[in-house]
Amino acid sequence: MHPPYKGSVNDGSGEIIRDTVPPLHSVEGGGAGALHNVLYSRENLDLPSTLKDYLALMRPKQYVKNIFVFAPLFFALPIGNPEPLLNALTAFIVFSMMASAVYILNDYCDMENDRLHPKKKFRPLAAGKVSGTGALLLMTGLLMISVASCLAFLNLQVLALILAYLTINVIYTLKLKHISLIDIFIISTGFVIRLFVGSCASGMELSYSIIVMTFLLSLFLAFAKRRDDVLILMETGQKMRKNIGGYNLEFINSAMSMISSIILVSYIMYTISPDIIAKHHTDKLYLTSLFVMLGILRYQQITFIYKNSGVPTEILMKDKFIQLSIIFWAISFLTIKYAGPWFL
């Protein structure tokens, strides 16, 4: 049996002996309270919240960018053969893990600058919710899983592409992100690599037009993102990037207008090219350019009028107008491709 537990009561009558065990949260007497103290010495430990912070560090919302992996599959549409789709889905997961590792490295290197940013200061590393050591361990784990999964389920071409993506982004994070114009061209190159990853994984060929339009579209979005940094500099006087001096509103506005025009013309030329007409068995795909134009104009409206272009993925996930433009574009493209020869 346990010896009587002595508890002091300061009522003037001395010490009172109580024949009981210590309370659970007590550390007196070396009972259950001592065990509780050892197991839960960190009272602030909140496992669900910690896991949420580490998940946020991986930036899963940015995975929407990796949808470009499926682009070669969409334009080829090998109906009746599920293998290319499964391979593309595997490539999407593998690339997402590699991208998360790159995001963690970027956040780790930019921790101090992010603390000065009105939005980025809430990122887990900048806010102090995740330790630097924990972030680097997670990054290493993601890299290893990505490479191992690629070797196990895909091919050496995809592995070479994701390693090239990693190498380019390491150099970008350490040096190239500080050079104006070069920084946004590196970002756009990452989107093109996504296309090639999807092509090599699924076995679907890529047209030059899709490569060019993807590069231009990502360039357009990157300029819009830099515009947000310029606005912050103008409003607060704080430079969110070392290279922001190489940009101003006039330059970015003209660049975005020029690129958006080239994108639209490139898409129309793609839809009326003899090779595409022969491939899709219809000459009416140019009709889908209406939704491409609507999407681009809407993004320019958000950028120039509402001045909210800092996070393209959030715009894509929240703006119903852009979402509907993409949905109607996809539906019209598929409808014209498969039903067009009979009705148009």
pLDDT, one tens digit per residue, over 135-158 is: 899 999 999 999 999 999 999 999
Task: Answer yes or no: are the C-beta atoms of 101 and 139 closer than 8 Å.
Answer: yes
Q: Which two tokens stand for residue 309?
A: 């272009």
- Give per-residue pLDDT as tens, 34-87: 434 434 444 455 678 888 888 888 998 889 899 999 998 888 776 667 888 899
Q: Report residue 102's pLDDT band, with 50, 70 and 90 as the boundaries.
A: very high
- pLDDT value, residue 142: 94
- pLDDT value, residue 44: 54
Q: Is pLDDT of 292 > 60?
A: yes
> Residue range 283-301: average pLDDT?
94
Task: Answer yes or no: are the C-beta atoms of 159 and 147 closer than 8 Å.
Answer: yes
Q: Is pLDDT of 128 > 90?
A: no
Q: Is pLDDT of 328 > 90?
A: yes
Q: Report residue 27's pLDDT band, with 50, 70 and 90 as the boundaries.
A: very low
Distances (CA, A) of 344 to 36, 86, 335, 337: 75, 33, 10, 10
- Give per-residue pLDDT as tens, 200-230: 998 888 888 899 999 999 999 999 999 988 8
Nearest one of 267, 155, 264, 237 to 202, comparing CA atoms: 155
- Give per-residue pLDDT as tens, 69-81: 999 888 877 666 7
- pLDDT value, residue 241: 79
Measured CA to CA, the distance from residue 311 to residue 62 in angstroms comes to: 9
The domains of the chain, with CATH numbers, are: 65-206 (1.10.357.140), 219-234+261-344 (no CATH)
- pLDDT value, residue 13: 45
**3-class DSSP state of 117:** coil
